[in-house]
Structures are given as structure tokens and as C-alpha cells.
Amino acid sequence: MLPALRDKDDVYVSNLTPARYQGVVESHDLVMDLGTEAGRPGSILILRGWIYPSDASINVALAQQSAVKVSMPSLEVRNARGQWETAAGNIGFPSGKDKTIVIDLAGKFPTTDHRVRIRTNMQIYWDQAVVALDTPAPETRTTPLRPVTADLHARGFSRMYRKGGRYGPHWFAYDSVTKDAPWRAIDGAFTRFGDVLPLLGGADDMYVVMAPGDEATVEFDATAAGEVPHGWKRTFLLYTDGWIKDADLNTAFGNSVAPLPFHAIKQYPYASGESYPSDSTRQRYLREYNTRVIGRR
């Protein structure tokens, strides 16, 4: 196992020079010697870290020029001439805060030099690297749990801070809340407060429309899953289906709830002839649930 990249919890390793665009920095490398066992069948590289993302305005700016291009993280190895060559052109990136990606190392090294170079210009902070060998797929059991209660209500905004110091990801202190909104308001018809359990039964284009500062408390009956067998471990995974819209000036309709997205949508804003489904069931949903109008009607 490769030692972690950090010497204590929540200290993130990076040496990034900012470029002109948030989330895109000068090209930088992470070079590691993964040891003699890396590269054999069944070996994988596990990378954990976080990404500082761009936003809609930055993405528009990047699309309108040619001097700066985003380079996805790539995995390079040494060839017989001692030169770096690409073994995997796009290894992905941690999609959020403290996320993990897995890279197959089997057959990646053409020589006995098992150094790798991870290169990108995305603002990624690698926090931990581990080489795992012969990891068998564990026996698993999946037990779906249906929500038993769901309540939508006003709460406010958690205090934001940098977890781990100056270069840590933005984190939120749930117990420290303010009613002052740090973002622009979004106008439109939001879901009324109260019981919203009927809207969470399936992915049916009838969803909870939450305003900034809202909170939905959803409860599940864990006893329905039964006892955990001896030697087993239970992990709860929350699966959600929905959309998010920020108030960025370059986000399409970023200052309004409408037009509403739906699963059969071809593009946003709507393509020619598209509209939110107009059948009686969905129209009744709009009339009964989305009655909390904020800002302009």
C-alpha cells in the first residue's frame, strides 16, 4: 500500500499557480513511484481528493477563446527510452469534495520503472493515494428503503468555511446558520412547505422545487432492513434524481424557476416545440404543490 499523500487529516497537498479562470490553473504534475507490485493483474490505483470547479460564466469564457484549454487528468508512465508516455488519456477526476477515483494499473508499465505522472490543469487537490492488489469483489446484499416522511421547510444558510485550511474544500457548518442569503434570489413558483412525501416516490417529473435556504427532512425506517449478519457492515447510500440551477449570470434562465426541466427534455433551454408535460396529472401537481411564489409571478 502506498503511503497517504498527507501527514495528518485534512491537510491537502497541492502546489497550484492560479490561471485566469477559476478551476483552471497552470499545468501541473503529480509523480509517484507505485512500487514493484503495481501493474500486475488485479492492481489498482485509488486516488482521493477534491476539485475546485468552474462555473457557468467561466465555461462560457473558456469557450470564447483558444489560448486556454482544459486538460483532463491523464496517467503517464516511463517507456524504454525513459520518456513519459500516456497510459490512460483520461482517468477522470474527483467529482466533488473528498471523492475517490479508481484506475486500473494492470499492464500499464512497459518497463520495471513503476513511476507514474498524473498531469492536468484542472484545480484538483489530491489528498490520498493507495495501490491495492487482488481486491476481490465482496458479497453484497441490497435492501431498498422507502422514505416514510418528507417535510419541506425554511431553514437558512449554513456558515461556509475551508475545511483543512486555506486550500481545503468549501465546507458547511450545519449548526451555524444565518437567514441572510449569500446568493441572488431566484424568482418563481416553488413547492409549498409541509408534507412532500408523495413527490419522492419515483422519477416522474413531479419533484420538490426548493428555494435557496429551504431544507427537506426525509426519514427512512432502517428497521425494515433487518439485522446485520455477523462480520458484515451496513452502508447507507442515498439515491436522488433531480436538477440544480444556480443564479450565475451565464446560466440559462438562472434567475427563475421556469422553464421546468423534465426527463424527456432534449436541451435546456427548450428545443423548438418542447414544453413541460401538459397531461392532467402533472398539471394538477403544479396547481397543488408549486404554490409558493417568490419574486415576480
Per-residue pLDDT of the chain (297 residues; tens, 9 = 90+): 444 444 334 434 444 444 456 788 888 999 999 999 999 999 999 999 999 888 888 888 888 888 888 899 999 999 999 999 999 999 999 988 889 999 999 999 999 999 999 999 999 999 999 999 987 888 999 999 999 999 999 999 999 998 888 888 889 999 999 998 888 889 999 999 999 999 999 999 999 999 999 999 999 998 888 899 999 999 999 999 999 988 888 888 999 999 999 999 999 999 999 999 999 999 999 999 999 999 865
Tell me if 127 sits within 8 A of 6, measured CB to CB: yes
User: How far is 89 from 194, CA to CA, in rounded Å?
Assistant: 49
Q: Which residues pair with 46 in a beta bridge?
A: 102, 130
Reply yes or no on domain 18-132 having CATH 1.20.81.
no
Tell me if 151 sits within 8 A of 216, measured CB to CB: yes
133-148 pLDDT, tens digit each: 987 888 999 999 999 9
Residue whose entry in the numeric block shows the C-alpha cell 424557476 = 257
The set of residues, in sequence order, having a beta carbon less than 8 Å from that of 159 and lying 6+ positions away, is 172, 173, 176, 177, 178
- Indicate the domain borders of the chain: 18-132, 147-294
What confidence score (pLDDT) does residue 7 get? Answer: 37
- Determine the distance from the C-alpha atom of residue 240 to the mean position of all C-alpha atoms in its chain, rounded to a whole number: 12
3-state secondary structure 194-262: EECHHHHCCCCCCCCCCCCCEEEEEEECHHHHCCCCCCCCCCCCCCCCCCCCCCCCCCCCCCECCCCCC
User: How far is 140 from 130, CA to CA, in rounded Å?
Assistant: 23
User: How far is 93 from 126, CA to CA, in rounded Å?
Assistant: 10
Give whole-number Cα distances, 276 to 108, 147, 226, in Å: 48, 26, 41
User: How far is 156 from 177, CA to CA, in rounded Å?
Assistant: 6
